[in-house]
Amino acid sequence: MTTIVVLGAGVSGLTCALQLAKRGDVAITIVAKHMPGDYDVEYTSPWAGANVLPMAVEKDSRWEKRTWPILKHLAKEVPEAGIHLQKARVYRLAKDEPTDFKGPLDDSLFATDPWYQKLMDDFRELPANELPHAGVRSGCEFQSVCINTAIYLPWLLGQCVKYGVVFKRAVVSHISEAANMSHTGKKADIVINASGVLASRLGGVMDATVQPARGQIVVVRNEAPNNMMTTSGCDDSDDEIVYSMTRAAGGGTVLGGTYQLGNWDPNPEPNVAVRIMKRAIELHPELTGGRGIEALSIIRHGVGLRPYRKDGVRIEKERIDGTWVVHNYGHAGWGYQGSYGCAEAVVDLVDEAIAEMKPAKRQSKL
Ligand SMILES: Cc1cc2nc3c(=O)[nH]c(=O)nc-3n(C[C@H](O)[C@H](O)[C@H](O)COP(=O)(O)OP(=O)(O)OC[C@H]3O[C@@H](n4cnc5c(N)ncnc54)[C@H](O)[C@@H]3O)c2cc1C
């Protein structure tokens, strides 16, 4: 049996642990400072919307392509996972021409004729009479999902427990410490590093190319039909963005947001919060029945730090102090919508590591 320690209980660590545990013949321990149920600025996953809006360019779209069918299945067949189907609208602003609609997120979501129209069901370009105002030059709509992270993360944890994963709360200062934290008492054969934005501060990793992309949100009780949307930018600031979505099962409506690189500030900024709410009401006055932002019923203000990595996600293995470490961090703003694709790649790397360990194990018996 292979002994594995997963460092991190965000969506990345939980999904990897679950996919590995389902295969059997592994003893898995998840070690984490923060667990589902916690709200802390160092723990990104609870703060996400979260929805599926494909962001990668097509050549890097493997993670999103492999994840989408699984999230769609969960939305349709597993209601207790807290995911529901929702139409998504992507608006391309006239002011963002002629940059092929690359807004502050610098992704291909806003491209005209996007690759993902082949992936997402019911894709259609919106006719002019369905665009919200004159500043929106064009837009599209497709079937997506919205994940209530307050339900989905505990659901993932429960699934892991069902398949035998053991959870341990601990703070690790060096990645090598994790190898000695298996519940079996044995040294781990493999450590999976799913430490998110804290990969920038973790001994043995200290990835200086990881930094937060700070996202401020307002979660409200108000709901409106067809409100899951985003725009290619906004007039207020280059590091502010516009999106909204209503979470499944009474999770409220999430209004966003910001994308502030290098900013670790955990405190919601009041002026930004007002701008977030104003922009949401401009696009969806029906959220408050035409009564303006004063009629928004606020559940909470929040800040989450997307784990941005300059060269994109790191999914690779390396030996650190004699133990195989498989890295899976740096998912920026797409950690949910790429979670199963990334976990699949992690499983492949775990298999490679096991294969490479076998000769060493045989030799040690001689
Ligand atoms: C406002 C906002 C909106 C977003 N919207 C979306 C969306 O709509 N769709 C989408 O797909 N994604 C979205 N994201 C991005 C998504 O939330 C992240 O990509 C994802 O949550 C990253 O998950 P993770 O598991 O890698 O990191 P985290 O959730 O941060 O988990 C890291 C884990 O590692 C543990 N850890 C780290 N270091 C240590 C240590 N030294 N010792 C012990 N434990 C440690 C932590 O305690 C934690 O358990 C959004 C993010 C934000 C902030």
* Homologous superfamily, domain 2-46+150-209+311-365: NAD(P)-binding Rossmann-like Domain (3.40.50.720)
The DSSP-derived string for 284-331 is: -GGGGTTS-GGG--EEEEEEEEEEEETT--EEEEEEETTEEEEEEE--
Sequence-distant (≥ 6) Cβ neighbours of residue 102 within 8 angstroms: 96, 110, 232
Please give the distance, rounded to the nearest whole angstrom, from the Cα atom of residue 193 to the centre of ligand 1: 12
CA 85 to CA 179: how far, in whole Å? Answer: 39
Is the pLDDT at 99 greater than 60, yes or no? no
Residue, of 281 and 97, whose pLDDT is higher? 281
Task: Give the model's pLDDT for residue 361.
Answer: 56
- 48 within ligand 1 shell (Cβ under 6 A): yes
Q: How far is the CA of 33 from the centre of ligand 1 (A)?
A: 12
Fold that domain 88-144+211-309 belongs to in CATH: D-Amino Acid Oxidase; Chain A, domain 2 (3.30.9)
Residues 62 and 322 sit within 8 Å (Cβ to Cβ): no
Q: Report whether residue 350 contacts ligand 1, using a CB cutoff of 6 Å.
A: no
| Alpha-carbon radius of gyration of the chain | 21
Give, using CA atoms, the residue closest to atom 19 of ligand 1: 335
Cis peptide before 50 (omega within 30 of 0): yes
Q: Is there a cis peptide before residue 54, judged by omega within 30 degrees of 0? A: no
- Of the chain, the percentage scoring pLDDT greater than 90 comes to 86
Atom of ligand 1 nearest to the CA of 217: 1
Beta bridge partners of 305: 214
Q: Where in the chain is the domain with CATH 3.30.9.10?
A: 88-144+211-309
Distance (Å, whole) CA 260 – CA 236: 13
> Under a CB-based contact definition with an 8 Å cutoff, are residues 267 and 212 in contact?
no
Cβ(157) – ligand 1 distance below 6 Å: no
> Could you tell me the pLDDT band of residue 335, with boundaries at 50, 70 and 90?
very high
Q: Which two tokens stand for residue 223?
A: 């709901």
CA distance 68 to 248: 17
User: For residue 287, is pLDDT > 90?
Assistant: yes
Summarize pLDDT for 236-272 with one digit per residue, the tens: 998 999 999 999 999 999 999 999 999 999 999 999 9
- Report yes or no: 194 and 65 within 8 Å, Cβ to Cβ: no
Secondary element (H or E) of residue 88: strand 83-93
Is the shortest distance between the CB of 33 and ligand 1 below 6 Å?
yes
Assigned token pair, 249: 């099962």
Are residues 327 and 345 in contact, defined by beta-carbon separation less than 8 angstroms?
no
d(CA 8, CA 31): 6
Q: How confident is the model at residue 94 (pLDDT cuts 50, 70, 90)?
A: confident
202 lines ligand 1 (CB under 6 A): yes
pLDDT band at 117; cut points 50, 70, 90: very high
Amino acid at 360: A
Per-residue pLDDT at 112: 86
Identity (one letter) of the amino acid at 330?
Answer: G
Mean pLDDT score of the chain, rounded to an integer?
94
